[in-house]
Structure 1
Amino acid sequence: MISLFIAAATLSVRGDRLYIPATINGVATEAVLDSAAEATFIDDDFARRIGTGKGKSVTAKGSGGSAEAELIQGARIDALGVSMPNLTIAVIDLDDVGQRLFGRRLDAIVGRELFDASRLSIDIEGGQIAAIPRTSQPKGVRLPLKSHHGIETMPVTIEGKAVLAEFDLGNGSDLLIGKPFAERSGLLARSHGAEKGGGIGGAVDRRIVTLRTIRIAGVTFRNVRAAIDEQPNAGDANVGVKLLRRFRIVTDFAQKAVWLQPRSGKR
């Protein structure tokens, strides 16, 4: 059973990466917050320190490809006053991801279990996050969520085209555009360079484009840098922290909704 004690916590923001305090099997650590991770991942060295034991070997798919992992049952995660027992989590070598994306050792990535378990109020610019009652009425524009390959998506408009974009607080890089949508929209012909990207699974090269407009919750952003995601499971778009930090956010995955309130002066 999931238990909830309403509590606020400091949201540590470094660049466009989000960190929260979490306790995993009774051991406190700092974890990356990732709404698009289908499960919580912990580093294999951290797993040995907390004594998880061996689990079932599986192949984990990330934004950079595939990697070997072990599934551990019966784990407990406590974060933001939310207690989540009897979870299945993935143990994986996070050394490459930690150094390449975060520039430091990474013990854990807390995934969508936390978002499924509670309604969260998130203020990235203000550095605050809290689990809040579902009886409160959030401010901002309510957007419906729809699951796609285990990730929640929300409606956005890209250069006049309505699409579903993954709501990804684990994406601290550019807005991502799936290759099929880029091909249909003629965006590949506008690419102007490439850069390294990708998370779990390794680094990948991604072509860079500039979107004329993207509209989210009534706010229009112009001349937005985006990278082409060529992974076979990529959605049409993936919106990360670079744009989501322009809003105060309330998430409620259980009720399939997110509320986005534009921050003053952010367009």
Structure 2
Amino acid sequence: MTDVQGAMVDGEAVRPPVIVLVETQMGENIGAAARAMANFGLRELRLVKPRDGWPNEKARAAASRGDAIIDDVRLYDTLAEAISDLELVFATTARPHDIAKEVESPAVAAHSLMQAARTGAATGLVFGREKWGLTSDEVGLCDRIVTIPVDPVFASLNIAQAVMVNVYEWRRQVLGDASWTPFGEKERSPQASKGDVFAFFEHLEGALDAVEFFRPESKRQHMIRNLRQIFQKARLSEQEVRTLRGVIAALERRPTRLDQARAELERRERDEE
């Protein structure tokens, strides 16, 4: 297996992280990101609604010898769709978000990604728009945050530069460069895919809607976001997702207070007749 398609680590093939670019404005930035990926042995590039459409000749020109990556680009309408088959996803952001998530440096994040990949998990790195990055909701879809420790006096990085820093750290993991690697931590396996987690969220939120949990309506989105973060931080396994959905299904089979009140009203009406 070649480095562009995969990586050999201690004699075993591991799948490199998927790179996801969200609503990238310039084709040149997509191409430069693809070139950086090719330099450091990554293959899969996914685009969420690129501003100038796809295919893009400016992206191909900037990719240099990364044409194979450009040829295999996959397009998505939403970030949720783009990461639904992944199990560990990092959002790259330097902006503060009102979301309680683990924040890791690129080196530590690369170690986490490698640990997950060695268990067979599919992983990814998400990069936002050139002007304002990722939204809080988009960051909320990911498991952790990776932040590059730039000088706060000039903290702005080009998308391709941000990709370069992170994929360079991945390459160090592939080559066994342990100088920045934290030890003593084992990755849990198997972790639930993002698609399974999103389906769990929909199941949970539907059940809570049935009992009118999200009140007042003006706070609904904020409550949903906070609820999701509780489970995102837990990094649920496949078995845990199945268990939780079983719990919800069991609760759905129990009559709610509203159901009981309606039944009682119907009983009284029958008695009066």
Shorter chain as normaliser: what TM range? under 0.3
TM-score when normalising by structure 1: 0.27
More helix by share: 2
Query: Which has the greater radius of gyration?
Result: 2
More strand by share: 1
TM-score when normalising by structure 2: 0.27
